[in-house]
Structures are given as structure tokens and as C-alpha cells.
Amino acid sequence: MLITVSAGLFASLLISTLVNPTGQRPRLPGLYAMLSGLGWWLTLFGVVCLISQRPFFSVAFVVVWHGVLMAVNHAKFTALKEPFILQDFEYFTDALRHPQLYIPFFGIAKTLVLLAAGAVTIGLFFWLETPLYRKASWWLLPISAFLAGVLASLAAWRIRPTLSLDPTNDIRQTGLFALFHSHLMEYWKARTKKLPEPAGNWPEFKPGKPKPNLVMVQSESFFDPRPCYPFIESSVLKHWDQHKAQAAASGQLTVPAWGANTVRTEAAVLTGLSQEMLGIYQYNPYRRLVKQPVSSLASHLRAQGYKTVCIHPYPASFYFRDRVMPALGFDQFIDIKAFSESDQCGQYTGDQAVGDKISELLESTDEPLFIFAITMENHGPLHLEQPEPGLANEVYRQLPGGPLDDLTVYLRHLKNADRMLSQITSALKASSRNGSLCWYGDHVPIMPDVYRNFGEPVATTPWLIWSTGVQPNTEASENEGQPPLPAHKLAKHWLSTVNTCQRA
């Protein structure tokens, strides 16, 4: 049995060494990586062996599980430029509840084959292998393996390196399982620490002046692809261009995400907390904010007399938003239940339907409103949709050679986001109150084939601040030449700009 366990350990080491998505040359792990990897392997083997009572099956299970994690790590790195991290394990349960958001990036056929192969293999092992409980001292092997794994993990803890909390950099230094170990220890250290409050005070409106309606839109995967791909028709973002020319301010936004992880940008904008301030919780800030709310844009505006509404056309429980949004100061959370199948455009609720909901809210009350909308229409996976006939002629000046389907589908939804922008500003103009719109993208989309053939865009996304009754000013053009604005500074910049517009 010792030979079998050793062979399993060697197989896992070989997989970790050879399956390397970071582009770094394969190399043997250091002592910390060896100890932490050994700790994870033996602990999992001990638990599975204790439950299944079949040591050969347990070795095979751990090796296969290791291989699956490395494959998922490779898929995630390819799509999102970030390795699989400890926090991502919760996405396995999310993948069961929301398979459309996750499984297509790994591959639907690949997933089905793996599940079928796994079921057959488990059945064969349970049929052919004699269980341990039929032998004397059956508990000795699983308990010994588990304790050895715990000791290896504790030894790794004593020699752990200092993390940068940049997963791509850290995995190059330590390897995948050492990264899991390091993040687990970081979560343990952070469990009793409180998040800091955002730096600086939230800007307040001048007393005695009517408060404007405020609408903030986090537009799914919104960016301007035209500078990177000049073969795209400029009219794809015609409303964006018009409003940018009229904007009180505009520029580029540094976002803490590529292709996904919307919640990172969302939390930064709403709370004003930077990645450094969030620490280990930067990967999913809402996991911490659901337990420890902080002052936010919504709570600040509610204290000033605003009714605060969040709109997200997806199940409210996703990312704990049903609990986080009220804790951050939102009076009302409108989720997928407020929309119907007829509102869909592609795979998700269309931007027009969200724009209609915003317009209805603005028309339905005289009190000052703050509306925060998180759109879904342009969410991937884009390759599950096929471009409509003739769409390519509408969105391209010329058709370059290469795979364009994902980009064509993306541009269709981008045009709808562009129309939504105009839809909201029209509703703000029609209101009896002044109004302001802050619009930004949460991250660039996932289009690996497009990027491979035509080049990658920069990781920033555009933002603009538009207000009723405000003439274009020099600030908007000046911001274009400035460094990108960090996402956690956007909300305060918006309120300061609105204050300036109010005084004008």
C-alpha cells in the first residue's frame, strides 16, 4: 500500500510540474510547496479513505481530483488571466446552481465526459476493491495519512513565504496547492480583523439645494473595442460618443478584474475600498461585507434623504447580494423576479428592460432617487450564441480574416448597452429634478479567440459622468489624458462632480 500511495504522490507531483498555464518553465517545487502539497494530498487521501474504506480508490480519487483542479486552473488562467484560488472552490456549488455561467468555459462536452468517466470508475472500484473494515486495524491507514497531512501543513505554515496577494505572481513562486495553503492561512489570520473604513469622507450636497436623481450603471463587460479593432463600425457606440462629448467628466477606469469577477469592481465602486484595504477578501469582497458592512455610497446617500434602489436582473442570492445590498444601505433590491422571459436578449435579461425599469422608477416618485443598476445582457459565454444573419455587415467596416463570432455577438449586445445609455439620460431629462448618470464597465469580456487573432485590449474600462443642464467642460477632455482612475475612487469623484455641476 505504501508503494501505491507513493505512486499517487509522484503522479500528482508530475501533473503539477507539467501542467503549467503561467508560461513558466516546468520546475520542481521548493520546500514550502512540497510540504503544503503533501499536506493537502495526505489529508484528502485520509478523509476519502476513511469514508470509502478503499485505499486504491482513494489514491485514484485524489490523483484524478488533482488533475481536474489543474485542468480547471488552466481553463481559468486562459480565460481570466488568473489562476484557480482557494476562494474559487465555492464556485463548484455555484456551477451546480448557475451552470451557464461556468461550465461552458471549461467545456460542456469535456465536463460530461469527465462526469461519466468518474461515475464508471467509482462504480468499478467499489465493486472490485475489498473494503478496509473487513481487516483488523482498518482505521490505521486513513488516520495515519490524515495526521501526516496535518503535520506537513503545520510544518509548511512555519516556513511560509510572504504573499503579494497577486495570485499570478504567487503561484509562480509557490505552485497551486501551496497557494491554497497560503490563502487558507491568510483567511485564518483575517477572521477577527475588521475591514477599514474608506479613506476620506463621502462628498455631501450643499444644504438647501434640491437633490438630483442619481443613476449609476455598472454595464456588463462594457468597453470601447474600436481603438483596438479599427475594422469595427464607429456607430456601434454612437450614443456613447455623443454623451461623452457632453459629459461633465470621463476617462478610463482601473478595474480589479479581467473577463469576470464583476463583484470585485462592484464592491470597490460602492464601498471605496481598494484591493489593498480588502486584503485576502479582495477576491470576493462580499464574503466579508455580508458579515461586516462598511459605509458605502448607498448608505451615505440614504443618510442624505435618498431612496436607494439596486437593480440586478439575476437571482438575488448570487454573491450574497440579497444580504449584502441591504447591509450596504439599499432600501430596495430588484432582481430577476421583476423581469419576464420576454425581457431576454440573448441568454440574459436585456439592457432595454433594465433601462425601462430605471425609467419607471424615475417617473414613479418625487423623492430623490439613487439607482444602482448591474446589467447582465453582455455576460458570457458569448460562444453559446450565434450571430444573427446580416449583423456582421452592420458592425464591421470590413471583414478581416479570423474567428469573429464572439466579437460579433458581443457588438450586438454592446449596441444595446449604448441604446440603454441614451434611454436613461432621456428619462433623467424628463424628470422634474436634475439628474446625473455615472456609467462604467466592470471588466473587458472573455473572447480568447478574438484576442489571440487580433490582439488584446488594455484591461481598463471607460467611464463617464453626465448631468442634466450641464454644458461640456474642459474636465471631460482633460481626464482623457490623465492616468486611469482606480475603481474605488469613482463614486466619490462622481459626487464631487455632481456638486460642482450643482453650483454651476
Q: Helix H segments across 175-233?
A: 176-190
Q: Is a pLDDT exceeding 70 seen at residue 503?
A: no
Q: pLDDT tens for residues 323-373? A: 999 999 999 999 999 999 999 999 999 999 999 999 999 999 889 999 999
Cα dist. 432→210, 360, 467 in Å? 11, 14, 14
CA 389 remoteness from chain centre: 32
How many degrees, rounded to 5, is the angle at CA 495 between CA 203 and CA 303? Answer: 55
Q: Is a pLDDT exceeding 70 seen at residue 23?
A: no
Cβ contact 205:499 at 8 Å: yes
The answer to whether the Cα torsion of 93, 96, 102, 105 is positive or negative is positive
Helix (H) or strand (E) holding 79: helix 55-80
Distance between CA 364 and CA 258 in Å, rounded?
37
- The residues with which 308 forms a beta bridge, in sequence order, are 370
Q: Is a pLDDT exceeding 50 seen at residue 58?
A: yes
Helix (H) or strand (E) holding 65: helix 55-80
Question: In the structure grid, which three cell numbers stand for residue 462, read together?
Answer: 471607460
Closest listed residue to residue 441, CA positions, set 378, 355, 369: 378
Question: In the structure grid, which three cell numbers stand for residue 161, read together?
Answer: 513565504
Q: Is a pLDDT exceeding 50 seen at residue 478?
A: no
Q: Whole-number mean pLDDT of the chain?
A: 89
Q: Helix H segments across 89-220?
A: 90-97, 99-106, 108-128, 140-158, 167-174, 176-190
Return the percentage of the chain with pLDDT > 90, whole number. Answer: 60
Domain residue limits, the chain: 2-190, 213-503
Cα-only R_g, the chain: 26
Q: Is a pLDDT exceeding 60 seen at residue 477?
A: no
Distance between CA 406 and CA 386 in Å, rounded?
8
CB atoms within 10 A of CB 329: 21
255 three-state secondary structure: coil
What does CATH list as the number for 213-503? 3.40.720.10
Give the 3-state secondary structure percentages of the chain, helix then strand then coil, rounded to 5.
Answer: 60, 10, 35
Distance between CA 31 and CA 104 in Å, rounded?
36
How many degrees, rounded to 5, is the angle at CA 318 between CA 314 and CA 320? Answer: 130
Give burial (CB, 10 Å; 0-12/13-18/19+) of 497.
Answer: buried
What pLDDT is recorded for position 431? 93
Q: pLDDT tens for residues 90-124? A: 877 777 777 767 676 666 777 777 777 777 777 77
Q: Are strands 213-219 and 307-311 parallel, antiparallel or unpaired?
A: unpaired
**Sheet-wide strand order for 213-219:** 332-334, 307-311, 369-374, 213-219, 435-441, 461-467, 249-254, 485-486
Cβ contact 257:81 at 8 Å: no
Q: pLDDT tens for residues 154-201? A: 999 888 888 888 898 888 888 888 899 889 989 988 988 899 888 778
Lowest mean pLDDT among 112-116, 403-407, 482-486: 112-116
How many degrees, rounded to 5, is the angle at CA 489 between CA 193 and CA 456? Answer: 105
Q: Quick one: average pLDDT of 282-289? A: 94
Q: Is a pLDDT exceeding 80 seen at residue 34?
A: yes
Question: In the structure grid, which three cell numbers stand for residue 459, read together?
Answer: 484591461
Cβ contact 105:79 at 8 Å: yes
How far does the chain reach from its first CA to its final CA, in angstroms? Answer: 80
Provide the phi-psi class of 474: left if phi over 0, else alpha when psi is between -120 and 50, else beta. alpha
Question: In the structure grid, which three cell numbers stand for residue 77, read together?
Answer: 488562467
Cβ contact 32:174 at 8 Å: yes
CB neighbours of 383 closer than 8 A, spacing ≥ 6? 104, 405, 406
Cβ contact 268:256 at 8 Å: yes
CB neighbours of 108 closer than 8 A, spacing ≥ 6? none
What pLDDT is recorded for position 28? 55
Q: How many CA atoms lie within 13 A of 441 on its CB side?
A: 30
What pLDDT is recorded for position 22? 60
Backbone angles phi, psi at 346, to 5 degrees: 80, -130
Closest listed residue to residue 465, CA positions, set 253, 267, 211, 257: 253
- DSSP secondary structure letter of residue 387: P
Q: Is a pLDDT exceeding 50 seen at residue 26?
A: no
464 three-state secondary structure: strand
